[in-house]
């Protein structure tokens, strides 16, 4: 038996067993059955050639899983809830229950990895089935009893085409039916879907990648112990835990407030490893003992017992969609003391955990000065805006189909807002600022809508008293009402780009001058966080989702109305009407009674008939010191426009990309929401240039809850536009393009000349990377590497679930 000499001795009995079994089955099987048996068979010839030594998960296995598997299995919308981003997720396995279910009338039990179950048995009790062999035994059994192996092998036996587009019979839609076969069901699955192995609808793994995963699975999928904090981080963890677990009422209240705002983030200690992150959690055990996380649905839910704030190292791969970085440092702790502990105020008793109190920050934290709370949020405004843009969800239609595709965000200066100096006013208005989750998930939809409307009107009327007390100011002075980050904090000026059901937030004013903007004050910023981050439960029922969506309408209009207040009364109504075209007559008035915002001018001195453009130009001058970059691609006044310090190739590429940014209109309907472009330069991959083309879809209004975004009643195709940025933007790239620097002018010329879907398809065949392209993984890897080079701490793995079949 010379062919078996490379196998370990323990393989031999099981090889004999399988050979006999296969001979017996094949002797009596029909042709169809023999195919099924073949598909489920362990590849013994490959098994013989695998190395004998134990494989390293961190050095060998994890890199393959990261770049080939986690890119589709890393978030809540991962197929079958199979999260391959960590050993815990792989051990948990798969479930037939979808997290995103728009027809769910009752809440489902939460299934958050690391939180809602801590052992494999607990996950099995929650109807997750294994994708590994959990029975031990031999390498042959480890493969034969592994759904993960069978999925990988199915793909190897039925290689994906390397040309053209995938068959339309392969459903790539986000809401596609998912089969999620168990081990017992796999043969039927393989027989019915022979072309749907893993990686699903992506090119096959390279031979060496496949061998690595098979070797690992054959060895029983061994994983190392969880990584412990680095030595430098351990000292800081102890210091922070001691700080957060102070015993005074004042400290306890402040720590509770901080936790409810940071629970969803990835904490990073300045000066430690770029990829070392921590979660702030509540544990039943104090510092120095093993962490025992207390699982609650929301961060303001009653923990039920004595608890301690702890920092727990995040064990999984970092996925861009859920990566919210918040930096902890000595300077941060000093700032917390300055904001929250040094001011003179008394906390006579801690707030209750009763939902009508705990879910309302204007009640729960009434003792903390409002100005301190607002400055805490402003210091890291991008993190908090990103919280609802990214946040705890991966399929964000509830939050995102209520906003425009591109808009700028600024904040009211705390020195201007006199309401901050009168905390008794906010306390009196606390009931009117209550978010939906405080009332539970079964509130009737239309009664809730009327309640939200009435509360919003009452609050707005009170807010208007402060507004009318303001004296008129020239526009040059009025922009001083907006917080400028004290001339050094880039969080003062932000841009939001929406990409269908995901979005991203950037420092600065990026893209062309937007159709709308938001001006945010403290009550609005706080409610956005408690509505869409702290208070949103992705596992809850349809009513919860719709009530959240309804309330977000009011918050969006509040921010837009604050922006309108900076424009002349002669233009406000026309501008606002353009945002709500096509609505049923009177509906906009039902949603938001805005008359009071339309009647008083507080800003004068406009000199043209385009006050929006004037206002934006004043913003650019006002925020010049904190703008991270000047957008020379989308807003080049008089060419040539070059970024400061740009080399010749960068100037050439930027100039060419300007042709793309000028495109507008119906033709863009064929274009992807987010396209990544690689411009090759000198043969060194690290020197190549990266761009993102973002399609900004225009809408007649964004208040229609039940309309599809493709519906002609909602969309305004003639005003679609493109933004081009010279970095990688977004978490879900829809398509890749690759060109040489010498061809960049021709590339952009052809891009800008497209007039139909047929033109786009021809263009893709020349420059694009399809799901079937032989260089797909190489291209995807370059963009991932480039993202890490651009943002070594902020970067995460791109999700390829939304990659188009073009």
Q: What is the pTM of this model?
A: 0.92
- Give the per-residue pLDDT at 23: 40
Question: How sure is the predictor about 7, in pLDDT bands with cuts at 50, 70 and 90?
Answer: very low
- Give the per-residue pLDDT at 593: 53
Most confident range (mean pLDDT) of 302-306, 454-458, 501-505, 580-584 is: 302-306
Question: How sure is the predictor about 76, in pLDDT bands with cuts at 50, 70 and 90?
Answer: confident
Q: What is the DSSP letter of 597?
A: G
Most confident range (mean pLDDT) of 336-350, 430-444, 446-460 is: 336-350
pLDDT in tens, 761-798: 899 999 999 999 999 999 999 999 999 999 999 999 99
Classify the C-alpha dihedral 415-416-417-418 as positive or negative: positive
CB atoms within 10 A of CB 792: 11
Q: Rounded mean pLDDT of 399-425?
A: 86
> Which residues, in sequence order, are CB contacts of 118 under 8 Å at separation 6+?
none
Query: Given a cut of 80, is residue 590 above it in pLDDT?
Result: no
- Phi and psi at residue 40, in whole multiples of 5°? -95, 0
- Give the per-residue pLDDT at 596: 62
When comparing pLDDT for 269 and 700, which is higher?
269
DSSP letter string over 325-351?
A: EEEE-HHHHHHHIIIIISS-----SPP
Q: Of all residues in the chain, what percent carry a pLDDT higher than 90?
A: 69
Of 117-131, 315-329, 401-415, least confident by mean pLDDT is: 401-415
Residues in the chain: 806
Find out whether 761 and 672 touch, Cβ atoms under 8 Å.
Answer: no
Between CA 199 and CA 51, with CA 88 as vertex, the angle to 5 degrees is 60
pLDDT in tens, 191-230: 999 999 999 999 999 999 999 999 999 999 999 999 999 9
Question: How sure is the predictor about 546, in pLDDT bands with cuts at 50, 70 and 90?
Answer: confident
Query: Given a cut of 90, is residue 29 above it in pLDDT?
Result: no
Report the C-alpha gap between 108 and 292 in whole angstroms: 24
- Give the per-residue pLDDT at 103: 75
Question: How sure is the predictor about 578, in pLDDT bands with cuts at 50, 70 and 90?
Answer: confident
Question: How sure is the predictor about 395, in pLDDT bands with cuts at 50, 70 and 90?
Answer: low
When comparing pLDDT for 18 and 104, which is higher?
104
Domain ranges of the chain: 2-218, 226-350, 389-628, 639-790
Edge-first strand order for the sheet with 735-740 is 721-725, 689-696, 674-680, 735-740, 768-769
When comparing pLDDT for 484 and 456, which is higher?
484
- Give the per-residue pLDDT at 773: 96
Find out whether 689 and 678 touch, Cβ atoms under 8 Å.
Answer: yes
- Give the per-residue pLDDT at 18: 41
Question: How sure is the predictor about 628, in pLDDT bands with cuts at 50, 70 and 90?
Answer: confident
When comparing pLDDT for 647 and 176, which is higher?
647
Q: Rounded mean pLDDT of 709-724?
A: 81
Report the C-alpha gap between 678 and 741 in whole angstroms: 9
Query: Given a cut of 90, is residue 150 above it in pLDDT?
Result: yes
- Give the per-residue pLDDT at 509: 96
- Per DSSP, helices labelled H in 596-666 are 611-622, 648-661
- Give the per-residue pLDDT at 75: 86
Report the C-alpha gap between 790 and 783 in whole angstroms: 10
> Average model confidence (pLDDT) for the chain?
88
Of 417-426, 698-707, 725-734, least confident by mean pLDDT is: 698-707
Report the C-alpha gap between 421 and 417 in whole angstroms: 8
- Give the per-residue pLDDT at 399: 52
pLDDT in tens, 665-681: 998 988 999 999 999 99
Query: Given a cut of 50, is residue 293 above it in pLDDT?
Result: yes
- Give the per-residue pLDDT at 24: 39
443: tokens are 């509130």
């Amino acid at each position: 038996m010379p062919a078996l000499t490379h196998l370990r001795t323990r393989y031999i009995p099981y090889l004999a067993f399988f050979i006999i079994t296969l001979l017996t089955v094949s002797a009596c099987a029909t042709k169809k059955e023999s195919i099924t048996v073949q598909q489920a068979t362990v590849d013994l010839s490959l098994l013989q050639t695998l190395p004998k030594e134990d494989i390293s998960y961190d050095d060998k296995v994890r890199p393959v899983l990261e770049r080939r598997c986690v890119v589709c299995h890393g978030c809540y919308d991962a197929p079958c809830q199979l999260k391959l981003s960590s050993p815990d997720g792989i051990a948990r396995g798969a479930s037939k229950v979808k997290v995103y279910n728009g027809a769910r009338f009752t809440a489902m039990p939460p299934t958050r990895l690391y939180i809602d179950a801590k052992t494999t048995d607990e996950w099995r009790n929650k109807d997750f089935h294994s994708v590994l062999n959990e029975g031990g035994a031999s390498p042959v059994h480890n493969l034969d009893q592994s759904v993960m192996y069978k999925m990988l092998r199915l793909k190897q036996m039925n290689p994906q085409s390397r040309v053209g587009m995938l068959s339309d019979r392969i459903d790539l839609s986000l809401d596609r039916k998912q089969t999620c076969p168990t081990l017992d069901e796999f043969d039927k699955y393989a027989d019915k879907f022979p072309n749907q192995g893993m990686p699903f609808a992506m090119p096959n793994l390279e031979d060496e990648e496949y061998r690595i995963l098979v070797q690992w699975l054959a060895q029983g999928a061994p994983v190392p112990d969880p990584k412990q904090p680095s030595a430098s981080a351990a000292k800081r963890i102890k210091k922070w835990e001691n700080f957060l677990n102070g015993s005074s009422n004042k400290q306890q209240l402040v720590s509770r407030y901080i936790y409810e705002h940071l629970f969803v983030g990835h904490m990073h200690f300045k000066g430690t490893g770029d990829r070392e992150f921590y979660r702030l959690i509540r544990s039943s055990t104090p510092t120095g003992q093993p962490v025992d996380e207390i699982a609650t649905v929301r961060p303001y839910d009653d923990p039920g017992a004595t608890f301690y704030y702890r920092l727990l190292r995040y064990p999984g791969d970092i996925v861009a969609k859920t990566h919210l970085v918040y930096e902890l440092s000595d300077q941060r702790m000093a700032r917390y003391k300055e904001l929250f502990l040094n001011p003179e105020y008394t906390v006579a008793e801690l707030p209750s955990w009763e939902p009508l109190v705990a879910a309302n920050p204007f009640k729960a934290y009434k003792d903390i000065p409002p100005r301190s709370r607002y400055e805490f949020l402003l210091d890291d405004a991008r993190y908090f805006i990103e919280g609802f843009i990214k946040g705890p969800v991966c399929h964000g239609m509830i939050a995102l189909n209520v906003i425009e595709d591109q808009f700028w965000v600024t904040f009211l200066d705390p020195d201007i807002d006199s309401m901050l100096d009168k905390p008794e006013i906010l306390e009196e208005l606390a009931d009117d600022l209550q978010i939906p989750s405080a009332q539970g998930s079964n509130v009737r939809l239309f009664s809730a809508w009327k309640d939200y409307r009435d509360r919003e009107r009452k609050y707005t009327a009170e807010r208007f008293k402060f507004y009318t007390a303001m004296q008129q100011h020239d526009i040059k002075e009025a922009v001083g009402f907006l917080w400028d980050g004290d001339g050094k904090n880039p969080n003062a000026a932000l841009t939001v780009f929406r990409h269908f059901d995901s979005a991203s937030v950037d420092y600065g004013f990026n893209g062309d001058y937007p159709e709308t903007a938001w001006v945010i004050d403290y009550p609005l910023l706080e409610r956005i966080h408690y509505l869409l981050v702290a208070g949103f439960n992705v596992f809850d029922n349809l009513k919860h989702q719709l009530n959240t969506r309804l309330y977000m309408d009011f918050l969006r209009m509040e921010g837009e109305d604050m922006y309108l207040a900076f424009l002349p009364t002669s233009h406000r109504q026309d501008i606002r009407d353009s945002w709500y075209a096509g609505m049923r007559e009177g509906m906009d008035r039902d949603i938001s009674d805005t008359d009071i915002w339309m009647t008083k001018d507080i800003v004068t001195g406009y000199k043209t008939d385009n006050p929006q453009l004037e206002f934006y130009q004043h913003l650019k001058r006002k925020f010049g010191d904190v703008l991270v970059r000047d957008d020379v691609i989308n807003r080049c006044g008089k060419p040539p426009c070059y970024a400061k310090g740009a080399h010749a190739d960068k100037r050439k590429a930027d100039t060419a990309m300007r042709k793309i940014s000028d495109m507008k209109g119906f033709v863009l309907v064929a274009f992807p929401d987010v396209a990544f472009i690689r411009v090759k330069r000198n043969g060194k991959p690290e020197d190549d240039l990266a761009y993102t083309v973002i399609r900004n879809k225009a809408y007649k209004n964004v208040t229609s809850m039940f309309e599809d975004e493709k519906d002609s009643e909602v969309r305004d195709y003639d005003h679609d536009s493109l933004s081009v940025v010279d970095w990688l933007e977004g978490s879900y790239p829809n398509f890749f393009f690759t060109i040489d620097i010498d061809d960049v002018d021709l590339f952009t010329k052809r891009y800008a000349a497209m007039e139909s879907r047929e033109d786009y398809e021809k263009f893709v065949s020349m420059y694009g990377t399809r799901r079937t392209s032989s260089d797909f993984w190489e291209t995807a890897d370059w963009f991932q590497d480039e993202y890490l080079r651009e943002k070594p701490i902020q970067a995460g793995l791109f999700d390829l679930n939304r990659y188009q079949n073009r």
